[in-house]
Amino acid sequence: MSQLFHTKDISKSSFLVTGGAGFIGSHIAEYLLRNGAAKVRVLDNMVNGFQSNLDILRRYPAFEMMEGDIRDLDTCMKACEGIYYVSHQAALGSVPRSIKEPVYFNDVNVGGFVNMLKAAVDQKVKTFVYASSSSVYGDEPTLPKKEERIGNCLSPYAATKKTNELYAQVFADVYGIKLMGFRYFNIFGPRQDPNGPYAAVIPLFVKGIMNKSEVFINGDGEQTRDFTYVENAIQVNVKGMLTEREEAFKKVYNVAVGEYYSVNHLYKACADYLNSDWKPTHREPRAGDIRNSLADISLAMDLLDYKPVKRFDEGLRETIAYFKEVYS
């Protein structure tokens, strides 16, 4: 990834990336390190993080690792010491897992989030950006999804992310902290974990096709998603942290491409790139899933100068090349 997403000099700036040993967080941290940030501190409890991601970051002298849990306020306070900019990516994902473990999800995604906000205020962090989710749109059926129009939450995970947005608004109003949130739409790319019962769809498909093991499609497979390559998430986090536009703060932005594809189309594309005729198995639809998802990205384009740099086909090619190299 060689694209430059900022013009500001960051050689005297310090950054904290929570969840920086994970999929999206490690990409954000690597971008900042590669482009000369004075300090990039990662806070991660290593529940969903990987040493292999940290090994990439350790190549840079400005990298600093802090192992700890956002559920502990003192840890969050220490993590924010001397930090200008925070990119908060630490959270539990997975709609079905949240249905099984709602209390755990609330403790991490809501309690941990409030701890981080409080720490950022007390340590006088300049800008705080955080990961929300397209799941907050819930049962609102209108496409494309626009930020101001959301429905009822369909899962505990969605409820935690909606609650994050409410707390962010309150902290901005009450404490004056500059912040913004990003509603990610199905982010995918290299380093996304293909293992475990709650793995995301693209690494699951690629791994199953490569290994000729059973691959499941929930329901008829005609549900659609705005699949978004991880480089686009890096871009919006960097631009959000570094923006000087006052009107950009106290908002939540869709982070997507503005195109949608069915799960069946996704599976066929994965199989085609892998030159495979391996067939999937259809099973019951999954509780809590949104049927169709497509983002209106005009707000991020207008206020953050966000422009999707890689679309579905190019991103999928790069992702599959990574999985072939790492797992074959």
The one catalytic residue in 85, 130, 137, 157 is: 157
Please give the average per-residue pLDDT across 226-252, as a whole number: 98
Q: Which of 302, 289, 228, 217 is nearest to 258 (CA)?
A: 228
| Mean pLDDT, rounded, of the chain | 96
Look at 171 and 198; give whichever has higher pLDDT: 171
**Token pair of 117, please?**
């906000």
What pLDDT score was predicted for residue 199? 83
Q: Is the pLDDT of residue 328 over 80?
A: no
Q: pLDDT tens digit string along 75-102?
A: 999 999 999 999 999 999 999 999 999 9
What's the pTM value of the predicted model, to 2 decimals?
0.96
What pLDDT score was predicted for residue 12? 97
Distance CA 97, CA 158 (A): 12
What pLDDT score was predicted for residue 2? 60
Q: pLDDT tens digit string along 172-221?
A: 999 999 999 999 999 999 999 988 777 889 999 999 999 999 999 999 99
Q: Is the pLDDT of residue 304 over 90?
A: yes
Please give the average per-residue pLDDT across 42-58, as a whole number: 97
What pLDDT score was predicted for residue 290? 80
Read off the pLDDT band of 327 (50, 70, 90): confident
Read off the pLDDT band of 143 (50, 70, 90): very high
What pLDDT score was predicted for residue 180? 98
Q: Has 157 been annotated as catalytic?
A: yes
Q: Which domains does the chain have, with CATH numbers?
A: 14-185+230-258+294-309 (3.40.50.720)
- Burial degree of 233 (CB within 10 A; 0-12, 13-18, 19+): buried
Bridge partners of 183?
A: 132, 254
Pairing of strands 216-218, 224-225: unpaired
Please give the average per-residue pLDDT across 3-19, as a whole number: 95
